Amino acid sequence: MIGKNIKLFEELDSTNNFVKLNVSNLENGAIIVAERQTSGRGLRDNQWYSDFGNLYFSFIIKDNVYRSNLFTYIVQSSVSIIKTLKQFGINAEIKYPNDCLVESKKITGILIESSGTSSLNYIVVGIGININQIDFGDLNDKATSMKKILNEDFNIDEVLKEFVKNYNNILESNSQKVFEDYISKSIVIGKKITYKNEGYVISDIEQNGTIIICNDLDEKRVAFSEISLKELY
């Protein structure tokens, strides 16, 4: 379970960094929250806007962590976020592998980091949920928040509390069902992509995260890193 221990900081450079620096002092499932981050990190070395008003947190998983399960953590976190947003009246969808979107705009991001080789020492799941931010500057047409969608302020602690409940319920529930929830909210299936200069359609996602793409001539199984989903959004 996560969240037996929750530590809240007014400011950190990055909650993921804090977890990685304090691995040995943190128990499995501990959550680190920061009201703001001075160096919030996103995917592909991007910065993650991290001023007051949104939720920024990371948790550590130390028990039975295997690289082959990395996609499972993505599925569990994404489905927990979708359920949480739904409880606050927001219908979000999943952009494979781990962004949640509302009306094609990003509302949450997940940054998973790990250490070790096939049997991992730990993984850190870092999550940012846009809650009360209303101006996204240059990203106004790409990002949104709970407040932008529903025009009201939300209590950040309440959102975290619901996320933790949902995540722990998911840990207890049937993993096939959780994966089905992930697929049912996933917007990439049926979308066209280019792979090695050939046109394909994404037909499915496997439980380990591999994508199945097909065209009239061929069906292929490809890893996320092998295709660009940029053209889809």
Q: Where on the chain is the footprint of ligand BTN (CB under 6 A)?
A: 14-16, 37, 40-43, 46, 48, 56-58, 99, 109-111, 126-128
Rg (CA), the chain: 18
Q: Quick check: 98 and 126 in contact, CB under 8 A?
A: no
Write down the least CB distance from residue 124 to ligand BTN, Å: 8
Tell me the two tokens of residue 94.
Answer: 């999943």
User: Closer CB to ligand BTN, residue 110 or residue 178?
Assistant: 110
**First CA to last CA distance, the chain:** 34
User: Closer CB to ligand BTN, residue 49 or residue 200?
Assistant: 49
User: Closer CB to ligand BTN, residue 58 or residue 84?
Assistant: 58
User: Closer CB to ligand BTN, residue 48 or residue 96?
Assistant: 48
Write down the least CB distance from residue 99 to ligand BTN, Å: 6
User: Closer CB to ligand BTN, residue 56 or residue 73?
Assistant: 56
Write down the least CB distance from residue 221 to ligand BTN, Å: 25
Place of tokens 């025009």: 151
Closest CA to 131 of 53, 36, 48, 228: 53
**Please, what is the Cα angle at 172 between 88 and 86, to 5 degrees?**
10
Distance CA(165)–CA(174), nearest Å, equals: 16
Distance CA(184)–CA(86), nearest Å, equals: 14
Write down the least CB distance from residue 43 to ligand BTN, Å: 4
Write down the least CB distance from residue 175 to ligand BTN, Å: 24
User: Closer CB to ligand BTN, residue 139 or residue 214?
Assistant: 139
Distance CA(15)–CA(13), nearest Å, equals: 7
Distance CA(139)–CA(119), nearest Å, equals: 38
Tell me the two tokens of residue 70.
Answer: 């990395």
Number of H helices, E strands in the chain: 5, 11
Write down the least CB distance from residue 197 to ligand BTN, Å: 28
